[in-house]
A and B are shown apart, each in its own frame.
Chain A
Amino acid sequence: MIPVHYILAALLLLMGIYCLLTKRDLIKIIIGICFLEHAVNLFWISLGYREGGTAPIVTPGEVPHTAEWAPLVPLVDPLPQALILTAIVIGLGTTILLTAIAIRAYQHYGTFDINKMKELRE
């Protein structure tokens, strides 16, 4: 069975793509990009999730383990969480820069509507 968070991630992804394809407003496009970013982040976090898993900290006595320290209870995979922290920070930077450029475009054109920005069309 596919866990529900994968379906959620796919749904978010589709919503983001739909938003990018249909919306003609700079701010809405930025929101669409955010949707996509969070969809990918959610997908990554889901990769590390284990049913009933605990934090992967193995200390003697607290977590049942074999003689070689291999734990007997399911542990969540910490690597995706560490990576996605990085990706979230990158996403934040991207969004801020995108918003800043959108504001500059608004100052030049007086609108957020990309249909009315015709500088690049000859």
Chain B
Amino acid sequence: MTIEQIIMHCPMLAIVIPLFIAAITPLINRVSEKARDVIVVIGTMLTVVVLALMTSNVFVGGESMVYMMGEWRPPLGIVLVVDSLSLFIALIISFLTFFAVIYSLGHMKEYHGLYQYYALMMLMLAGMNGIVLTGDMFNLFVFLEIMVIASYALVAFTIGKEQSEAAFKYQVISTLGTLGVLLGIGFLYADTGTLNMADMASKISAAGTTNLILFFGLLLFIFGFGMKSAMVPMHWWLPDAYPAAPAPIAALLSGAAAKAGVYALARTLFIIYGGNGMAHFGLLIVLILGIVTMIVGGIMALVQVDVKRMLAYSSMGQMGYILFGLGVATSLGLTGAMFHMLNHAVAKALLFLCVGVIVYQLGMRRMDKLGGLGKKMPITAACFLIGSLAIAGIPPFNGFWSKLLLYISGFEAGSIYAVGSIIAIIMSVVTLGYLLNAFQKIFLGKLPEEIDPPKDTSIAMMLPIIVLAILCLVIGLFPDVFIHLSELAANVLISPGAQQSYIDSVELWRPIP
């Protein structure tokens, strides 16, 4: 088999490898627990490699790869479509899962039944990769369910008092969201008679703006995917679910799963509804809710005493920035949103993992009971500081550039968008405020007497943290190449004729008239 033939099958492999690893993990566990860990690490690494193999074709060559499942032609069969946007987000997701798995080797080693934990994690990876790579609407729903069901079980994994309550709440609200998506797909199917995204897009373009069925479908999609991406009226599962989950899972939920939700929202608004005037209304809703999310997330984060809960609200605030960029819907705004997705994934995962070290060492998360850990855990403290500055958008760290792009895009677009930019700048100061406050409370000051002096911990936990911190700095110092990649991803959504080129790339089969 030549390398070209392997690359041809890569879109499918990116989903099948984690699914396969998820299936064999419990079996390998019976032979040896060491082997299980090795298999899981190799599996995630392979997923990253498989995605990286496609970069030359997609990013450099600029083509979008279409993989027909079972050789069925598009509107009939399921297709996987890999363009710059899909690949960009899939790479973020897979890299982050790789780090989370390595971190889990250290963080979770005291728990029993870890084969379930790793199997669920792989299942979640398969679901997230499936969401971003698929070109079929019902397929997207199935992958969405795979992702969320795995994440329910992962949030509940250490099933204590808090976890059982948080997981129940998370699951009830999340099920509402996914049912909304299913109902929305039903509306679209009723009107267009197809499930293929490209086919839907071409039919919805021709449908006209007064079609009520499509309009309700749009609202349901914003509701359902907004639930996944922590948009404001549907956000209240998040500050319970993130703190209850183990640290690597919280990092994954915030860094990767929420990104998959934003991806699905962007795909729906810009490609499926792209040729229809209704999309403008949808984008306006996303813009306004994004700004509100930004404000609510920032202000609620200020008053938290639980550090993980604070980070959960902070995630919400940053998702608000991304939704704001989506709502501005200019080339610059979307580039900023894509770049901020990357930066937020890296920096917020870093913060969650740093807090995970503290929870692992001390078993407590209340900031008012902590203090003076900086001398005992210098690496964790330094990395937490880097993550905080990156999230708040202080140069030379990565968050600065993406936030700058978002502000400029808002001011360029004028009127309500400029107001959004001003709010974003204010909330950025608030972000810096609560993160530095947390840093000061946890790492500076006097060490309370009842705390055993802890130290930085095992290599498996420190390595991902250090690598992510270095990434924050590297992206901040050399932003050009990453901005270029974000621009490529944004071009899939917004450049002139983007929707038509997506439809053309799928090469729909039409029966002879």
Contact = CB atoms under 8 A, between A and B. Distances in A.
Interface of A: 20, 26, 29, 33, 36-37, 40, 43-44, 47, 79-80, 83, 86-87, 90, 93-94, 97-98, 101-102, 104-105, 108-109, 117, 119-120, 122
A80 B172 contact: no
B198 interface: no
Contacts of B195: 79
Given A97-B171, A98-B172, A108-B160, A117 B165 contact: yes
Contact of B162 (A80, A94, A97, A120): A120
Given A36-B179, A109-B161, 11 more contacts: A36-B175, A43-B186, A90-B145, A104-B156, A104-B164, A105-B165, A108-B161, A117-B165, A120-B162, A120-B166, A120-B240
B179 A101 contact: no
A104 B179 CA distance: 25
B438 to A, nearest CB: 17
11 contacts: A36-B175, A40-B183, A43-B183, A86-B142, A87-B141, A93-B149, A94-B175, A97-B149, A101-B167, A109-B161, A122-B306
Given A101-B171, A120-B240, A36 B165 contact: no
Chain A at the B interface: SS class: helix
B152 A97 contact: yes
Nearest to A105: B164
B50 interface: no
Contacts of A87: 141, 182
A29 B190 contact: no
Contact of B149 (A40, A47, A94): A94
B466 interface: no
Nearest to A41: B182
Which 6 A-B pairs give the minimum distances between C-beta atoms?
Answer: A105-B164, A104-B164, A108-B161, A90-B145, A119-B162, A101-B168
Interface string B114-157: 00000000000000000000000010011001000100110010
A120 B171 CA distance: 16
Nearest to B138: A83
A20 B161 contact: no
Interface in B278-307: 305-306
A83 B189 CA distance: 12
Nearest to B244: A120
Given A94-B171, A94-B175, A101 B189 contact: no
B186 to A, nearest CB: 5
B161 A33 contact: no
A93 B167 CA distance: 15
Contacts of A36: 175-176, 179
A26 B168 contact: yes
A33 B168 CA distance: 12
Contacts of B190: 47
A122 B167 CA distance: 18
Nearest to B240: A120
Contacts of A79: 189, 195
A87 B195 CA distance: 15
A44 B186 contact: yes
A87 B160 CA distance: 30
Contacts of B156: 101, 104
A120 B305 CA distance: 13
Contact of A119 (B159, B161, B182): B161
B451 to A, nearest CB: 21
A47 B188 CA distance: 11
A33 B172 contact: yes
A98 to B, nearest CB: 6
Contacts of B149: 90, 93-94, 97
A37 B179 contact: yes
Given A40-B186, A44-B186, A83-B138, A98 B162 contact: no
